[in-house]
Amino acid sequence: MYPLQLTINGKAHETNVDPRVSLLDLLRENLGLTGSKKGCDHGQCGACTVIVNGRRINSCLSLAVSHDGDEVTTIEGMASDDGLSPLQAAFVRHDAFQCGYCTPGQICSATALLEELERGEPSVVTKERVELADEEIRERMSGNLCRCGAYNNIIDAILEVAEARA
């Protein structure tokens, strides 16, 4: 067992973990934060997406011990006492989910996407700063799959929040 210190959703956590435990399993099994989902457990679906130090990652592929001292934001940390985050509210307004299984990962990924845009970071494909449009959102969200096919509504929700921020 290894000692581990993390800040998760603004709250400090100290725990001991087996070095083989993924960040996803630590969140779900040890800390009771079950919003992040285990979909494929191979980093292919994005249901486990969380934000670590401002970057989105697939938590199923990342060992918890590699995040000592890191700041992690999960879907549980998106809302505030005032209510849902703007992106969560837009997902509701645009019916950007059906079964809801992928929604936590989609929202975490979309939150990071909007922050990447604010920092002026290009996407991997475009390699330059571009206007946010459907194609750019699809490319930036390509690591998050929705088996129900709510992609158009997800894009509409992201565009709404991006336009409101601009």
User: Nearest Cα to 10, choosing from 80, 59, 60, 61?
Assistant: 80
User: Nearest Cα to 39, choosing from 30, 31, 28?
Assistant: 28
Cite the residue boundaries of each domain of the chain with CATH code 3.10.20.30.
2-77
Are 46 and 111 contacting, i.e. CB atoms less than 8 angstroms apart? no
Q: 86-165 adopts what CATH topology? A: DNA polymerase; domain 1 (1.10.150)
What pLDDT is recorded for position 129?
65
- According to DSSP, residue 59 is labeled G
What pLDDT is recorded for position 56?
97
124 pLDDT exceeds 90?
no
Give 2-77's CATH code, choosing from 3.30.70.270, 1.10.1790.20, 3.40.140.10, 3.10.20.30: 3.10.20.30
Q: Of 130 and 148, which is predicted with more confidence?
A: 148
For residue 28, the tally of other CB atoms under 10 A from its CB is: 19
Are 32 and 24 contacting, i.e. CB atoms less than 8 angstroms apart? no
Average of pLDDT values for 95-116?
A: 96
Lowest average pLDDT, out of 5-14, 97-106, 119-128, goes to 119-128
Cite the residue boundaries of each domain of the chain with CATH code 1.10.150.120.
86-165
Q: With bands split at pLDDT 50, 70 and 90, how would you rate the model's confidence at 125?
A: confident
Please write the tens of the pLDDT for every residue from 132-155. Answer: 889 889 999 999 999 999 999 999
Please write the tens of the pLDDT for every residue from 67-80. Answer: 999 999 999 999 99
